[in-house]
Structure 1
Amino acid sequence: MTGQITPAWIAVDWGTSNLRVWAMSATGTVLAQAGSDKGMGGLDRAGFEPALLALVGDWLGGPTPVIACGMVGSRQGWVEARYAATPCPPHGSDFARPETVDPRLDVHVIPGIKQMQPADVMRGEETQIAGFLAQNKGWDGVICLPGTHTKWVHISAGEIVSFQTFMTGELFATLTDHTVLRHSIAAEGWDDAAFDSGLSDAFSRPEKLAGRLFSLRAEGLLHDLPGHVARARLSGLLIGAELASAKPYWLGQQIAVIGAGGLAKLYVKALSQQGVPATQVNAESATLAGLTAAYRQLKG
């Protein structure tokens, strides 16, 4: 850290496992950045301010606005930032204000979004959506945000109209680490053809998913299916089943996929195989643009 940096404000993405911060200029330029493993999941309420100060303390002179998104605003976080209800803009509710000891911190936490029927929630993704819409004025369509809990979000007239969450990433991790498939799935490696076949099988017949999952174990035992091939096929099966269920969202729509690296590319590829072009958007860029939009909203 360096005392030479004097940000106009500080952007914070505070998830369950990690904390990321950026020193920002008034125009939204990144001056410096830092991170730690002090995510919400490892902190009690008294631990949030020290965890933040450990990263940004040297940036602070006088009172400095801090705009934070993510699980920091959950019921178990620093302060509960209550959900805005759909339909609503991505930043559709007042920001929450945690109490701070250090007078240099002026913290504002962005609320998540809730959907009453069918019941669903998001926290953190709303800021990426806000960033994407700030960079793509007047955009209507569907945004896919792949991750542990992948979300499909319908956007119209600058508002989140509806959304649906799929536990695809968590299912993949659970199946590979905590079921009989752990004996058959390699920790790394890939096979494009196996992913494609799994995707096609599950998309065309999603009701057969449970049986096809066990076939990965059986093929390993009986036909020596390589672990990296099983890994790719498992990913294809799960994403294919998700696409089949999410079809009412993406069919005939303009699609943007917000995510980093390989996972987002898999979703773009999967959609392309259904004849649906999708634009991949960098997740960090969208997050920073969304936090910047929130800062400008705060400044009025």
Structure 2
Amino acid sequence: MTKAVLIVNPSSGGEKGKEYTEFALEILKSMYDDVVLKETAKGGDAEEFSEAAAKERVEAVIVMGGDGTVNECISGLAEEEYRPKLGIIPLGTVNDLGRALGIPLNPEAAIQMLPDAVTKKLDVGKVNDGYFINVIAIGKIPEAVKDVDIDQKTRLGSLSYLIEGAKAFNDSQSYPFELILDDDEVIEQESSLVLIVLTNSVGGFENMLPDAKIDDGYLHLVALKGKTLMDKVKLIPKVISGNVTNADQTLYRKFKSGKIAVTEEAIELVSNIDGDQGDNLPLTVKVLPSHITIFVPA
């Protein structure tokens, strides 16, 4: 008997989770003998639900929510020896992983895709004792973005991130980073923004890192070198056109494991992991190649 678990974050996407749950259940019941619905009520629920599903050895876990909920589900699966196949129904503000996978951003279309979907392997990032699926961001802009509240996201969608990010864009504050990559490269770089990325889509910019693939076995580091507003303005066309990696204003490296720290002990700097507040620096990061099997459009 085949079994799937549907994990829904009812508050994602302006509370559209409730609207699409019945349709998702209908489609999944045509695919599996038994489908169990689990709705999140607080942070950590999705991780707990997916971990339990893995221990039960169900065939598939389908998650309906934003990048934060997807992150929780993958975190719940990542430590398990048996990991069910994962399906994503995007409902969040940005849905970077859905974009990178080519999954329809319209929830109804994403649900309709599932019966004909194929599977691909997905790299997962490990950061300290947690996991990430898309991006770690460190600096003034992610500090501002983390303060976007749920009401603002519901009303304005991804524009809310843009508004808060723009407020911090003119801030010239930078930090002294030490980047240790693959044990043998040590870089000291003053920067106002450091990104560690797994996929080509960052903050809704789907071509920011065109060489970053979901299964390439690498983490991709981008650090902004420029301090002035003009340096940052010059970078905007390169972000849009996918030329960030060879821009004069950025440092780019691809690597498999590393440590990100600030060289001044007095500086306390917090990371933003997949859109939510993460650990304070220093961070130890590594890639887990092809760690999750995920449904994508045929």
TM-score, normalized by length of structure 2?
Answer: 0.32
Structure with more helix by fraction = 1
Larger Rg computed on CA atoms:
1
TM-score, normalized by length of structure 1?
Answer: 0.31
Structure with more strand by fraction = 2
Question: Higher RCO, 1 or 2 (CA under 8 Å, sep at least 6)?
Answer: 2
